[in-house]
């Protein structure tokens, strides 16, 4: 069975679909709420899409995780811009194919569509981040 949470979140997980608050510009991602978490108004929203590239705001390198994960696993808080401009979304970014030595605050990272893990034998797809090809060391 494909679990309901992953089905509900498919647009966000698989297409980086988001919404922008018309009142304050905050980006709701990966959720589609009516109440804005920044200005707290029940605002109007505009559908938007995120770029497949973001900027690292902070990061860690996880060394000990359940078997489902690759380790060492760099993980960052990312600012991911909207394709149409405006404020970026602030999200967690799992990294892949990235040497822990080569991750830094301020670096740009590209989103790559990947299978992140399986639920009851069925794959859950979403984005992981890595150094842009041109910047690869």
Partner 1 sequence: MRDVAVVGAGMIDFGELFEQSFDDMAERAYLNALDDVDKEISSDDIDAAWFGTLDIAENASSGLGLSHPTGLFEMPVTRVENACATGSTAFRSAVEAVRAGSADVALVLGAEKMRDSAGGLIEGASLEQVWRGRGVTMPAFFGLRATRHMEAYGTTREQVAEVSVKNHENGAKYPHAHYRFTCSVEDVVDSPQVTYPLNLYDCCPVTDGAAATVIVSEDVVDEYTDDPVWVAGSGLATDTFQRGKDESLAGFPATRQAAEQAYEEAGITADDVDVAEVHDCFTITELVTYEDLGFCETGEGGAFVESGTPHLDGEKPVNPSGGLLAKGHPIGATGVAQVNEIYEQLRGEAGAVQVENDPEYGLQHNIGIGRDATGSVSCINVLSKHRP
The reply on whether position 55 binds partner 1 by CB under 8 A is: no
Binding-residue total with partner 1 (CB under 8 A): 39
Cβ neighbors of 87 (< 8 A, separation 6 or more) are 20, 25, 26, 27
> CA-to-CA distance for 110 and 117, rounded, in angstroms?
20
- Of 42-50, 70-78, 107-115, 129-137, the window that binds partner 1 (rule: CB under 8 A) is 70-78
User: Exactly one of 35, 42, 60, 122 binds partner 1 (CB under 8 A); which one?
Assistant: 60
Q: List residues binding partner 1 (CB under 8 A).
A: 5-6, 9, 12-13, 26-27, 29-30, 37-38, 57-66, 68-69, 72-73, 75-77, 87, 90-92, 94, 100, 105, 116-117, 124, 126
């Amino acid at each position: 069975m494909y679990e309901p949470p992953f089905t509900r979140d498919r647009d966000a997980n698989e297409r980086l679909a988001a919404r922008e608050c018309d009142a304050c510009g905050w980006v709701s991602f990966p959720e589609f709420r009516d109440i804005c978490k920044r200005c707290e108004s029940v605002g109007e929203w505009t559908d938007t899409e995120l770029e497949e590239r973001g900027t690292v705001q902070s990061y860690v390198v996880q060394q000990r995780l359940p078997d489902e994960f690759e380790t060492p696993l760099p993980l960052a808080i990312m600012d991911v811009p909207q394709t149409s401009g405006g404020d970026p979304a602030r999200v967690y970014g799992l990294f892949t194919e990235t040497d822990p030595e080569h991750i830094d605050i301020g670096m740009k990272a590209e989103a790559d569509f990947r299978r992140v893990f399986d639920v009851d034998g069925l794959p859950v797809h979403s984005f992981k981040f890595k150094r842009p090809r041109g910047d690869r060391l």
